[in-house]
Structure 1
């Protein structure tokens, strides 16, 4: 397995040229975020990823987490690595300074999250869930709960979880049965949750669960769900962990991948009831949980990017080292490294171009999240929030689907050796597979995009995005740099395809939602490819200017070549997906169930 090296040069390019890190420093609270500070953060996050987390990736996969009579024990080395992670303040990188966070931009945090997930996805899942729990508690918890729990969550001294799924209630949260019985200033919870990532472990001295449950008189369906904070250990008067709460991990799932991340079956109230505290208001739990869910979906989108990057690095290095065959163009007749073969180069550039598009897309959304929270102008905050709301399901769905596709392509580059566990290529494919499923499957993201996000404003946010995309295409077509015009033409065609599909979706969803939902995943993937093209088009414009100025010309010209490959070999997928969207369900909702 190759070592992990953070792609810092491309990260810096995207952050400065596309996500406009410099402009973020003018926002309230970010005045001290200089390029020097950003570079220092990136360098240290890269060092942690390469030197501490990456060496544990394969051993963690082989050993996995273990359930013992005393609880879950993390894979060897994970507890020590987590202590380094926590001591460095990494869990609170973009956290609220009022509770000990560093208050840095989400843009910087996204880059760090990418590196940690590339290095060790199983490990990085733990702080991802903690960040979501922290944000939900910060926004909806009482002042007392925030004061008692947030400091330790932000610092990483404690970790957080999200408890939604039950054996009979997967994505259908209306079927949740866990009950919460009021008792004075707290509740007692009884029930079972499954698929709880890092639901128990020995890396910290407390685990804080956010749990969906029903009070005795709650209405049926999602309107009767409340959110509760349930600590593994109840707190003493001084805030330290005290008595063990009645919540336990009763089994671990045996999974395809992410073996070092314990996926727990959690039991609440086997004896006297697990003591929990209401977060927010009764019967508003689903709305409160979506704060955590959206945080997690953004991070999982970055996970798709991260695992794709790691698979690419593995495939690239193998292709440079593996000597096999004699290309037709070779004059020497000698065997060469497979990276000289045209089809291997096609596969590698397919991986590289899409990864760069994903990275740009993810980082630009992260920067928009910063603007939604900090921009002084109300209308600008609202505009950015509408953009983020629209594109979060695309980020999660498209990037995780590509993560699987690119990891699979990485196995293909290795040939037969890719199917052998010792090379490491298999692990990336196995690990990547879960990301399209948790925090809402791709189908759920697509339904959110079509059924909620487009419908909520009649397509206004998408229309504004399309206008912005068209201006980029026009700038490419009118550029004095003759390398850019073909990219502009190709991109403009894809934008028109997106507009056509969006109009069809809005019209069809208004009269027959099932017909629209049957094409919704195609529409989501199409939107992702076009958004990737939008960012690669912007990258080409920036690279052209920097190339003309003589700035790192090898990198800029490679960026231009990669953007051209994306425009000519990847963007045409948007045109094909337009056709599948416009054809609707094509019988998928008409065939009798017994005929499947």
Structure 2
């Protein structure tokens, strides 16, 4: 089985040659995170994740996490790994320096996050959700709550979870029934939450749960939901650990994939009520939780990139090792990488992975600017860009991951269908990504509804203007005219799709998915063309580094072999939803 190698060169290329990291490093708060500092940090991260975490992926999947005598038992392969992660400082890289973080931009943290996710996707979920808790408390927590929790969470000594789902309340969070009864300055929390990722474990000193619950006099629906901090262990005034709170795991789910991640059923208040602390105001819990949710959606989108990268690397390794058949121009029996159809699959895996990575980096680069740029107008524009791109990152990248990891199995042939090679694990792990943190159907509805119809297309108009400006610049490279023409056509298709959306808003539910994929495909083509232009600039300047030639070739493959899907997406949009809704509920019964 292949050894994972972090794509450091790709990270540096995106940061420095495509998205102008140097300008980001000059923003207030990022002065100590210079390009030179980043260049020294990424190789150290690569060593850690390649040598320490990546070897745990397959054995931790095979053993999985379990509930033993009321405690969560993580796989043996992960024992001792998390403390090394904390000691090395990788959990704190993008954290606020005021609370013990290193203060790097989130886009640098994204590169390190990908290394962790590729190394072991299930294991990566604990630090990912902890970062989401940090984000929510940083925005909405009181000063006292920030002082109590943030430093421990940012440094990784405590972990965090997000508790939304209940047996009767999945996407419909207005149906949440967990109770919160005032008890002096605190609340007593009681109820059950399901599908809680890393809901409990014994490897951090504490677990901080953010819990959605309803007070007794709260109105029905989402306006009655509040958010509470419920720590596994209560915390003394001096920050030390106190007694165990009334919260515990009662089950660890048996899942298709991400076996190393304990997905728990959590019981709150079985012995009278778990002590909880209100975040912000009563009735605004869903607003607060969505801060965490949106951060998680961006992270999940990049999980799709990360698992695709790992699947691609293994497929390339296998295709170079596996000898089968004859190919013209190759003496004797040929490695299957010489077969055209295998090459097609590898190129598709590579192109879609690089496209998703560019899309994700773009979103996080804008997020950093939205928080740190001194110009209020720039901050506002970047914030709008992040809002628009979030459902694309989550939706497109995770759809791509299912396709890419499936192709990885296909490259292996029959050997991909057995667990010993490890190829199947990537597909099993990837299958959760379009589901959790808001299904991709929800992402599509968000994109077509909130991000297109509700703002009268302003976000899409701004995005189109940015693409047009880049196309003019890319077009200065005569070698890339085929790319600019393809992206211009894709932009036209997006505009046609938007026109249909605005003309038929009542059909939004049926056409949302294809509209999201049409725009996602087109934005990815633009970003790959932008990357190709940066590479072409280096080639024209005399570089002989084949990396740049590869970037141009990969972008060209995408516009030739993947971008043509836009025609089908657009045709499906224009066909409306009559065919989707043609049958009645009874018609789906077997005749």
Give the 5 Å matches for 1:163-242.
163-242=163-242
Any conservation in 2 of the 1:141–1:280 contact (CA below 8 Å)? yes
| Separation in structure 2 between the aligned mates of residue 144 and residue 121 of structure 1, nearest angstrom | 33
| Separation in structure 2 between the aligned mates of residue 331 and residue 494 of structure 1, nearest angstrom | 38
- Tell me the alpha carbon deviations over residues 328-365 of structure 1, each in whole angstroms, 9 at most, x when there is no partner: x2363x11100000111111011111111111111111
SS at match of 2:547: helix
| Separation in structure 1 between the aligned mates of residue 515 and residue 20 of structure 2, nearest angstrom | 28
| Separation in structure 1 between the aligned mates of residue 397 and residue 191 of structure 2, nearest angstrom | 34
Q: Would you say 1:330 and 2:332 are equivalent positions?
A: no
Q: Would you say 1:245 and 2:241 are equivalent positions?
A: no
User: What is the TM-score with the length of structure 1 in the denominator?
Assistant: 0.97
Give the 5 Å matches for 1:445-464.
445-464=443-462
SS at match of 1:209: strand
CA positional deviation for 1:476: 3.6
> Which residue of 534, 537, 540 maps to 2:532?
540
Q: Would you say 1:520 and 2:512 are equivalent positions?
A: yes
In structure 2, runs of 5+ residues without a counterpart are: none
| Separation in structure 1 between the aligned mates of residue 246 and residue 195 of structure 2, nearest angstrom | 19
Any conservation in 2 of the 1:18–1:364 contact (CA below 8 Å)? no
| Separation in structure 1 between the aligned mates of residue 472 and residue 239 of structure 2, nearest angstrom | 59
CA positional deviation for 1:13: 0.8
| Separation in structure 2 between the aligned mates of residue 87 and residue 272 of structure 1, nearest angstrom | 37
CA positional deviation for 1:474: 3.5
- Tell me the alpha carbon deviations over residues 143-166 of structure 1, each in whole angstroms, 9 at most, x when there is no partner: 111111111001100000000000
Any conservation in 2 of the 1:28–1:376 contact (CA below 8 Å)? yes
| Separation in structure 1 between the aligned mates of residue 347 and residue 392 of structure 2, nearest angstrom | 23
CA positional deviation for 1:532: 0.6
Residue 571 of structure 1 corresponds to: 563
| Separation in structure 2 between the aligned mates of residue 163 and residue 384 of structure 1, nearest angstrom | 29
CA positional deviation for 1:98: 1.3
Any conservation in 2 of the 1:189–1:273 contact (CA below 8 Å)? yes
Residue 370 of structure 2 corresponds to: 372
SS at match of 1:437: coil
Residue 503 of structure 2 corresponds to: 507
| Separation in structure 2 between the aligned mates of residue 57 and residue 218 of structure 1, nearest angstrom | 45
SS at match of 1:519: helix
- Tell me the alpha carbon deviations over residues 73-121 of structure 1, each in whole angstroms, 9 at most, x when there is no partner: 2111424110011112211211111111111011101111111101100
| Separation in structure 2 between the aligned mates of residue 559 and residue 243 of structure 1, nearest angstrom | 56
| Separation in structure 1 between the aligned mates of residue 223 and residue 300 of structure 2, nearest angstrom | 27
> Which residue of 568, 588, 591 maps to 2:580?
588
User: What is the TM-score with the length of structure 2 in the denominator?
Assistant: 0.98
CA positional deviation for 1:552: 4.2
CA positional deviation for 1:414: 0.5
CA positional deviation for 1:561: 1.1
| Separation in structure 1 between the aligned mates of residue 34 and residue 338 of structure 2, nearest angstrom | 41
| Separation in structure 2 between the aligned mates of residue 154 and residue 473 of structure 1, nearest angstrom | 40
| Separation in structure 2 between the aligned mates of residue 584 and residue 40 of structure 1, nearest angstrom | 52
In structure 1, runs of 5+ residues without a counterpart are: none
| Separation in structure 2 between the aligned mates of residue 142 and residue 34 of structure 1, nearest angstrom | 32
> Which residue of 468, 471, 486 maps to 1:490?
486
Q: How large is the Cα RMSD of the aligned pairs?
A: 1.1
SS at match of 1:323: coil
| Separation in structure 1 between the aligned mates of residue 233 and residue 10 of structure 2, nearest angstrom | 43
SS at match of 1:527: helix
Residue 433 of structure 1 corresponds to: 431
CA positional deviation for 1:70: 4.3
